[in-house]
Amino acid sequence: MFKNESISRRAALQNLAVFSAVTVLPCCTPYPTAEAHPPAERLTWVIGNGHVFVDGVFKKLNVGIAPDGTLRLSEAALVGERGWDATGKVVSPGFIDALADDSFDPEHSYQTFEKYKLTDGLTTVLQMHGGADSPTAYHRYFDQHPHKINYGVSTFVMRIRIAMPSEAARLKHVERMLAEGALGVSHSLEYQPTPYDELRKYAALARKYNRPLFLHLRHSSREQELDGVKEALQLARDTGVRLHINHLHSTGGTYHMAEALDLIANARGSGGDITCCVYPYSYWATYVHSKRFDPGWQQRYGLDYGDLTLVGTGQRLDERTFNIYRRKTGYLVAVPEGTMPLNTTVDLALQADFCLIGSDGGIVSETAANSHPRGAGCFATTIRHAMEIKFPLEKLLPKMTSLPARLLHPALARRGELKHGYRADITIFDPKTIRGKASVENPNQTSAGIEAVFVNGELACQHGKILAEKGQAVRVNR
């Protein structure tokens, strides 16, 4: 799994001398003083002896964090105030979730939401599926509060269309949000069907401001899902927008993943800037009141009432309870495992270099555990699944780090990679023990094997314990 592990005897002895004092208490034992070993600059942290993921390969390097929260990498020993012995561990760029969702009541849920993201190894979490109708107002409120992770939102067309009956007013508002620094535009055609001509105008605005359009496709049935893929690709051709297709394995490629990937690859070959994402679960979950459960859902998905489980309870629905929850809002149900077989969906998508990892979720309540487990364990589960199917970490980690950073350029400049001068967002994990523990019955469980998470140079999480809140707002500079 790891490469480039050879190291000179002299360098090994240097590392041994530096790290011998921090094996037991790596979080708090100081390194040799600057007077004893004069360094080029004083570092606040040094991480050594790990498998450091740099430029697509694993290397034996020492990773330093400067006082300004930026990275230093060196083959030679570094001197810092504190050290972390990462022997046997992977030192990765901090994971980036571009498809998180905490859009219903973020003022009350964001702390819980961020807790479960951080403990899953995330350093940057962007809500590009939902987001906010006014990212400007969102940041005006949330930028006054401390955050565990780097955070940001898209312009959420669904909410704008509900609030503004005039198409002209909607377009004016979306453009104003983009001009004021919104990360992109998001829309969900299956949940709120929208005429193609109007959709094209939103895409054109995103293209004008060089921002991505995140799209939940129009169809998820066996018969029509590829029509949704084709519509999205037509939109990219018509406007030149940077297009991201959300969770392709649950909407667009559940039954025809190979064909969907071929369509996207061909469009990219013709110059389209198109990506997609998946999450490593074989079942989807959504709200009973949503359009996905409009009449005919049994036929569309080959499911019945008894196949639906109320998340967080284990309760199986029947026709009576389905209709009770259908008349309410906020009740999430999951379909059975295997509804989206991993070997014919996610495993195929992982092979595509344009496919990223995105959770499409978040934990929003500690007391009412009614969220898809992907909100707490998506990234640890992804790594465990990849290792089980022998998918190389060298190919997986970019899908969780550098590729989403590039998709969100320029907002995530100098993040998503371990490079000199980049922001020190770092995730250290144990490849032997990492796994997501969240389940349908109990989604509110933190992931195992995440040793440490550094956010903007600060140790924010150690073995699941939150230690600091150093997250920063992510916006496009105006």
429: β partners: 90, 450
Q: Indicate whether 39 pLDDT > 60.
A: no
Asked if residue 445 belongs to a domain, the reply is: no
The model's pLDDT over 95-124, given as tens digits with 9 standing for 90+, comes to 999 999 997 889 999 999 999 999 999 999
Q: Domain check: are 170 and 40 in the same one?
A: no
DSSP H helices, 72-142, are 106-118, 135-142
Residue 35: pLDDT over 80: no
For 31, 36, 44, 45, 79, the CA distances from 39, given in Å and listed in that order, are 12, 9, 12, 13, 6
Q: Is residue 469 part of a domain?
A: no
pLDDT beyond 70 at 30: no
226 and 152 inside one domain: yes
Domain termination residue (choose one: 334, 362, 395): 334
pLDDT surpasses 60 at 14: no
157 and 44, same domain (yes or no) = no
In a domain, 453, yes or no: no
Res 1: pLDDT: 53
Shared domain for 183 and 214, answered yes or no, is yes
Tokens standing for residue 16: 């041994």
Same domain, 35 and 119: no
Please tell me the predicted confidence (pLDDT) of residue 478.
Answer: 65
CB atoms within 10 A of CB 18: 22
What band does 8 get if pLDDT is binned at 50, 70 and 90? Answer: very low
In-domain check, residue 464: no
Is the model more confident about 256 or about 15? 256
**pLDDT at 216 > cutoff 60:** yes
How many Å from the N-terminal Cα to the C-terminal Cα in the chain? 42
pLDDT, tens digit, 9 for 90 and up, residues 133-149:
999 999 999 999 999 99
- Give residue 229's pLDDT: 98
Q: How many angstroms separate the Cα of 35 from the Cα of each of 15, 39, 66, 207?
A: 18, 9, 17, 54
Of 57, 88, 119, the domain-final residue:
88
Q: Find the mean pLDDT for residues 37-65.
A: 90
Q: Quick one: 36 and 59 in the same domain?
A: yes
Domain co-membership, 68 together with 114 = no
Interval 208-237 mean pLDDT: 97
266 and 342 co-located in one domain? yes
Single-letter amino acid code for the residue at 452 = A
Q: Is the pLDDT of residue 36 over 90?
A: no
Q: Which structural domain range is residue 344 located in?
A: 94-284+337-412
Same domain, yes or no: 377 and 248: yes
What is the helix, strand, coil percentage profile of the chain, to 5?
Answer: 30, 25, 45
Burial string for 203-225 (b: 16+ CB within 10 Å, else e) reads bbbbbebebbbbbbbbbbbeeeb
Mean pLDDT of 184-197: 97
What mean pLDDT do residues 250-263 have?
97
What's the average model confidence in pLDDT over 68-85? 96
* 133 lies in the same domain as 144: yes
Residue where a domain terminates, one of 412, 438, 464: 412
- Inter-residue contact 233 to 267 (CB < 8 Å): yes
* Span 296-305, average pLDDT: 94
Determine the pLDDT at residue 477. 86
Residues 181 and 216 in one domain: yes
Least confident of 246-260, 329-343, 347-361, 402-416: 329-343
Amino acid 367: pLDDT: 87
For residue 393, pLDDT beyond 70: yes
pTM summary value: 0.90
The residue assigned the tokens 């360094």 is: 39
DSSP 225-282: HHHHHHHHHHHHHHH--EEEES-TTTTTSTTTHHHHHHHHHHHHHTT--EEEEE-S-S
Q: Is residue 477 part of a domain?
A: no
Pair 379, 124: CB distance under 8 Å? no
CA distances from 13 to 30, 59, 63, 81, 172 (A): 19, 17, 17, 20, 63
Q: If you ran DSSP here, which 8-state letter would residue 80 be given?
A: E
Q: What is the pLDDT of residues 148-172, one digit of tens each?
A: 999 999 999 999 999 999 999 999 9
The answer as to whether 32 is a domain residue is yes
pLDDT at 7 over 60: no
CATH number, position 261: 3.20.20.140
In a domain? residue 419: no
Are 280 and 294 within one domain? no
Share of the chain above pLDDT 90, in %: 86
- As for how many domains the chain has, the answer is 3
> To the nearest whole number, what is the mean pLDDT of the chain?
91
pLDDT at residue 33 is higher than 70: no
The three-state secondary structure class of 474 is coil
CA distance 155 to 112: 23
Residue 289 forms part of a structural domain: yes
Euclidean distance between CA atoms 282 and 251, whole angstroms: 13
